[in-house]
A and B are shown apart, each in its own frame.
Chain A
Amino acid sequence: MDFALTHAYLIPLLPALAFVVILAFTRLDKKKSAAIAISMMSVSFVLALLTAGAVLTDHLVMSATYIAKAVWVTIGGIPISMGMLVDPLTAMMLFVVTTVSLLVQIYSIGYMAHDPGAGRFFAFLSLFSASMLGLVISVSFIQMYAFWELVGLCSYLLIGFYYYKDSAREAAKKAFITTRIGDFGMLLGIIACQVAFGTVDFMELRSIVPQYVWSSGTSFLTIVGILLFIGPIGKSGQFPLHVWLPDAMEGPTPVSALIHAATMVVAGVYLVGRAYFIFSQLPIVMEIIAWVGGFTAIFAASIAITQRPFKKILAYSTISQLGYMMLALGVGSLTASMFHLMTHAFFKALLFLCAGAVIEAMNDEADIFKMGGLRHRMPTTFACMTIGVLAISGIPPFAGFFSKDMILAAAREVSMPLYIIATITAFMTAFYMARLLFVAFLGDVKDDCPAEETNAFMRWPLVVLAALSVVSGAAGHFLDFGEWIHYGPYHEEAIDPVIAGVSIVLTLIAYGLAYEIYVKKRWSAMEISHRLGFIYTLSYNKYYVDEFYALVRGAFIDGLAAVCYWLDVHVVQAILDGLAHVVSLVSEILSIAQNGQVQRYVAVFYCGVIVLALYGIYYAVRVLGILGGAF
C-alpha cells in the first residue's frame, strides 16, 4: 500500500497531463479528448481509492500524517515547498473529488455530444480536477493558495464556457472578481502568517501555533484568522460574497454539478478544516465562522423558496448547505462538517446532474413552472431526483440525515440560537426541495413538453450517485467516520433521538405543506405570495444584494475611477503641460534677440570677445598683479 501513498502526487498530475495533451493535440477531436480525460481521471480515481485504502490500513490519523514535499522555489532565502500531505481528511477529499469528477466527465460525454467545443470542455474539466486535487493534498498555505487560484481560473473558464452568451461572460467575470475579493483577504492572512511565523507549512504551523497562543495570546492571530476566513467566504459562497454562485449557473450543467456544488465551493470549508489548528484556537473567529455559516444557511434557504429556475434553486440550496458546513466548523465539529461535505457532494452532484438532464430534455427551458409531469417521461431521472431530494432533506436512511443530524447536534451543544436557525433552515430546505420535485415532476404533462429520457452516458452516473447518496451517510455513520476525521480528542457521536425526531417531523410537515400547495393546490401559491407581499418580493429579488453591490460598484469603483482619470488629465497632465508652456514662453522672450541676421550675431559675438578681453586684463592686473607697472 505504500505505493499509493508515495505516488499520491500522480492523482493531480494525471488530469493535468490530460489538460496539456488535449489542449495541445486533440482539442478539435471530441471523442479522443473525452477518452484521454476520462482515462486519466479513472487512473486518478483508482489511485485515490488505493490512497484511501492505504490510509485505512496504515492507520494514518489526523495527527500522524504522511508528508512528502520538495522545494518549489526559494524566495530570498525562504523556501516555498510543494508536496503532498495525506491524512484521513485528504483521503476522504481525494475520494470524493475523483469520484464526482469521473462521474461528471462520463456524464459530459452525453451532455456535450452536440457541442463543437467539447474538446476544450474536457481540457478545462481536467485542469479543474488537477487543481482541485492539488489543493486537497497541499502541504502549505501558499501551495493551497496557488491551487485555490487555479480552481478559480477553471471556474472562470467553465462558467464562461458559452463565451458567446453575454450572461455567461458576465457571470464568469463576476465569479472571478468576487472570489478575488476573498482571495485578497486570504492572501493577506497567509502573508501575515509567513511574516509572523516564518513559515506557512501546515505541519510546522501546527506545532508553532499552540505555543504562540500560549505565550502571546490570540489578539494578532485573531486578525490573521479573520483574514484567512475571508477567502473561504468568497470561495464557498458565504454571505456577503455569495452573489457569484447563483450566476455561475450560466455554465454547462456538469460544471455546476462538479464545481459549483460538489467540489470547488467546498474548498473554503476544506481550508478551514485543514487549518483548524489555527481557527480552533481563536474563539472570536470560531464565533464569526459559526454565525456567518448559520446566517448564510437560512438566508440562502429563504431565497431558494421563491426562485423559479431549476438550477437557481439548487444554487441557493448549495449556498445554504455550505453555510451548514461552516456552521458545523464554527461550533467546533470538524467531523460533522466534513461528513456533510462528503454526503452533500454526492447528493448535490446528483441533483445538479438531474437538473442537467431535465433542462436538456426541455430544450434549455429552466423555469420549473413550465415543466410538470416529468416523471412519466423521465422515470430514471425522477427516481434519482427523488433520492436526491430525500437525501438533502434528511430523511433516514438517506445520506443527508446522518450528516445533518450530526451538525444539528453539534450546534445544539454550543448555542441554542444557532440550533434553532439550523432547524428552521432544515425545514425550509425540505420545503423548497419538495416544491422543486413536485412542480417539475408531478402533475400533468404539459402539451408541448419535449422531454424524453436521456442517453446512457447521462443516466448511469445518476444511478451511481443515487446509490452513493443512499449509502454514504449510513456507511459513514456505522463505520465511525468521526474516528478517522476529527480534531482534538475523539468522542463517539450517537444520534440524539430528540434532535433527529424534531428534524424528521419538521421535514415531513414541509413535504406535506408543499404537497398541499403545489400538487393538491389547496392553497394557491399566487395567493400566498400576494399575502406575504413585501417579504415575498424581498426573497424573490434575493434581498436586492446584487442591486446594492451595483450601487457600491458604481460609486466606489467606476465613480472613483472616473475621478482619478479626471485628476490625471486635468491636474497632473495640466501641471506638466503648464511647465512646458512656461519653458516655451521663456524661450520666446529670449529668441527676440535672435533675428537671424548673421552680422548681428557677429557683432554680438565680438562685443562678447571685447568684454572677455577686458575682463582678462582686469583679472591679470588686479588679481594676478602682472602688468602692474603698465597702468
Chain B
Amino acid sequence: MTLDILHPFSITFMDMMNFATHIGLAHFLLLSAVLFAIGLFGLLTKRGIIPVLMCIELMLNAVNINLVAFNHYMPVDDYSGELMAIFAVAVAACEVAIGVALAFRIYRDRGTVNVDDLNSLKG
C-alpha cells in the first residue's frame, strides 16, 4: 500500500477516489514534502535572518510530521517516532533561542540582519 504512490503509470480512477476519501500515510508524506519544500525555498531566498530561521523551523516540522506519521502507520509497537519528534521540537526550540540571540548580537554589531552582508566567513 505504501509504495503505491510510487507507481505513477498505473494509477487508476479508483486509486484517485481512494486517495481522495481515505486519509493515509501518503497524505502526511505529501504534506511534509510540501512543507519541507516551502521551507527550503524560503531558506534559500529570504534575506533576513528571522525569516530564514522560520524557514528552518518549517523544515524541522516537516520532518516531525514524517516521524509521527511513520510511527502511526508502520507496524511498530512503541512510540519511538513520537519520542523523536518531541526531541526534535526541544532541539528546535534551543536552536531558535540561540539563533535569535545570534541575530540580536549580529544586529547590534553590524546594524543589519541581511544575510547577504554577512559574508565575512569567506576570509
**CB of A611, distance to nearest CB on chain B (Å):** 15
Cα distance A152–B7 in the bound complex, in angstroms:
98
A599 on the interface (CB 8 Å rule)?
yes
Cα distance A606–B43 in the bound complex, in angstroms:
11
**CB of A603, distance to nearest CB on chain B (Å):** 6
Q: 1/0 per residue A600-631: CB within 8 Å of B?
A: 00110010000000000000000000010010
Stretch from A213-221, A485-493, A588-596 contacting the other chain: A588-596
Q: Are A591 and B115 in contact (CB under 8 A)?
A: no
Task: Please name the residue on chain A nearest to B7 by beta carbon.
Answer: A630
Q: Are A591 and B122 in contact (CB under 8 A)?
A: yes
Cα distance A597–B120 in the bound complex, in angstroms:
9
B31 on the interface (CB 8 Å rule)?
no
**CB of B41, distance to nearest CB on chain A (Å):** 11
A598 on the interface (CB 8 Å rule)?
yes
Task: Please name the residue on chain A nearest to B49 by beta carbon.
Answer: A598
Cα distance A595–B119 in the bound complex, in angstroms:
7
Complex interface: chain A residues within 8 A of B11 (CB): none
Chain B positions 1-33 with a Cβ under 8 Å from a chain A Cβ: 3, 6-7
Lowest 6 CB-CB distances: which A-B pairs, in order?
A: A596-B119, A596-B122, A596-B121, A630-B6, A599-B44, A595-B122
Q: Are A599 and B122 in contact (CB under 8 A)?
A: no
B123 on the interface (CB 8 Å rule)?
yes
Q: Are B3 and A630 in contact (CB under 8 A)?
A: yes
Cα distance A594–B123 in the bound complex, in angstroms:
9
Classify chain B: how many residues form its interface, as a range.
10 to 19
Q: Are A599 and B119 in contact (CB under 8 A)?
A: no
Cα distance A627–B6 in the bound complex, in angstroms:
10
Q: List 28 A-B contacts (CB under 8 A).
A: A591-B122, A591-B123, A594-B121, A594-B122, A594-B123, A595-B119, A595-B122, A596-B119, A596-B120, A596-B121, A596-B122, A597-B115, A597-B116, A598-B52, A598-B115, A598-B118, A598-B121, A599-B43, A599-B44, A599-B52, A599-B115, A602-B43, A602-B44, A603-B44, A606-B44, A627-B6, A630-B3, A630-B6
Task: Please name the residue on chain A nearest to B45 by beta carbon.
Answer: A599
Complex interface: chain A residues within 8 A of B52 (CB): 598-599
Given A596-B118, A630-B7, 15 additional A-B pairs, CB 8 A: A591-B122, A594-B121, A594-B122, A594-B123, A595-B119, A596-B119, A596-B121, A598-B115, A599-B43, A599-B52, A599-B115, A602-B44, A606-B40, A606-B44, A630-B6
Task: Please name the residue on chain A nearest to B121 by beta carbon.
Answer: A596
Q: Are B40 and A597 in contact (CB under 8 A)?
A: no
Complex interface: chain B residues within 8 A of A603 (CB): 44
Q: 1/0 per residue B86-123: CB within 8 Å of A?
A: 00000000000000000000000000000110111111
Chain B positions 30-51 with a Cβ under 8 Å from a chain A Cβ: 40, 43-45
Complex interface: chain B residues within 8 A of A597 (CB): 115-116, 119
Cα distance A588–B120 in the bound complex, in angstroms:
16
**CB of A386, distance to nearest CB on chain B (Å):** 91
Complex interface: chain B residues within 8 A of A598 (CB): 52, 115, 118, 121
Cα distance A359–B119 in the bound complex, in angstroms:
85
